[in-house]
Amino acid sequence: MKICMLTSGHQIFDNRIYYKEILSLKKKYDEIYIIAPGEKDFTTEDNIKVKVFPKRKSWYNRFEPMKKIYDLAMEINADVYHAHEPDSFQVAVKLKKKLNCKIIYDSHEYHPEGFAEHFSVGRGLIEKLLYSYEKSIGKKADYIISVNQILVDKFKAYNKNVALIPNYPVLDLSLEKTLCPDSTNFIYVGGLREDRGILKVLEGIKLVKNNNCSYYFIGPFETEALEDKVKTYVSQNLSDKKIVFTGRIPHIEVYDYLKKADVGFVLLQPSNWRYINSEPVKIFEYMMSGTAVLASDFPMMRKIVDKYKCGQVIDPEDPEKIAMCIEELAKDRELVKRYGENGAKAVELEYNWGICERKLFQLYDELDK
């Protein structure tokens, strides 16, 4: 069976698309392609054939590449097209009419809500229109895949073939902690944005009296303006704290920081509805590395933290509570260690990609009948 992944907006080496789904499918299927934005065609070291089209310049011309994606996909003539956005899935619907192939819609984001956020006027109307659009094409999928129960329930309203395949991490038991005995290390991994809590975390750190703490922020700032704002705040208010911003670094180097981390921040802000109703992959990556989590008190994250006692949940908008938790965790390293061990065990038992891989294989087996 020949498989072709379609993505209009994700990177070629996207963590879920390439390192999880494609590399899993490669264990069973020899011929796999991905069509994605890029500069030139090539074949990866895993023998995945990459076909590219020019990257779009911004979100508002996201439909521009569809003709190019369609032409490339027609040349491949795959048995299954596996699309990751509504617009790339629209291409898959057109391909199904032409080639009589099987098509999968893999929705791992809140697409209508996310796209509507770009508009300051008429956001509600745009969101409704996009819901209708997604529903009209989603009915035509041979299978829909999604990452949480809220999205699965939405899709089941109009398509009976819906699979829950969460974005759990690939299990890696080789990471061994090398914690610093003299300092409690707090870490944040990911893009630095206001709605992901960077400013509230820094306001909390300002109130922390314990100076035997280090804070590492691993990842790029969303904008230069935010970077200037954050670094100005740090220089004016946190000169007595050990705070490190690494910028974007290679994936392998992130693990070097996780080895030394005691606690990981996942303090997403409630201003973004999508965050309230999500299971951020970051929480599972912290847990897998044996890092305790300090997470937003949102239903999905609370359920995980309460079930496995792998950290604490707090109001992510309250700097005083953030500071209080930092102080408490820095004072009780044994508690932090237990949280980390519990999290690692939870990932090994329940929250790992190996479990998801079996569901993915089962889905493809059904399509191959």
The b-or-e profile of 197-231 (16+ CB within 10 A means b, else e) is bbbbbbbbbbebeeeebbbbbbbebeeeeeeeebe
Say which DSSP state 32 is in: E
Say which DSSP state 196 is in: G
Candidates 137, 145, 148, 149; CA nearest to 107 is 145
Q: Which domains does the chain have, with CATH numbers?
A: 3-168+352-367 (3.40.50.2000), 184-349 (3.40.50.2000)
pLDDT confidence of residue 116: 64
pLDDT confidence of residue 109: 83
pLDDT confidence of residue 315: 98
Average pLDDT, the chain: 93
pLDDT confidence of residue 57: 67
The b-or-e profile of 157-191 (16+ CB within 10 A means b, else e) is eebeebbebbbbbbeeeeeebebeeeebbbbbbbe
Note the pTM of the prediction, 2 decimals. Answer: 0.88
Which helix or strand (DSSP H or E) is residue 329 part of?
Answer: helix 319-331
Distance separating alpha carbons of residues 58 and 17, to the nearest angstrom: 21
Distance separating alpha carbons of residues 154 and 157, to the nearest angstrom: 6
Six-digit token pair at 351? 């929250």
In angstroms, the Cα distances linking 204 to 201, 207, 216, 321 are 5, 5, 14, 8
Distance separating alpha carbons of residues 23 and 26, to the nearest angstrom: 5
pLDDT confidence of residue 216: 98
Residues of the chain with pLDDT under 50: none
Distance separating alpha carbons of residues 80 and 59, to the nearest angstrom: 27
Q: What is the pLDDT of residues 220-249, one digit of tens each?
A: 999 999 999 999 999 999 999 999 999 999
Candidates 314, 256, 304; CA nearest to 282 is 304
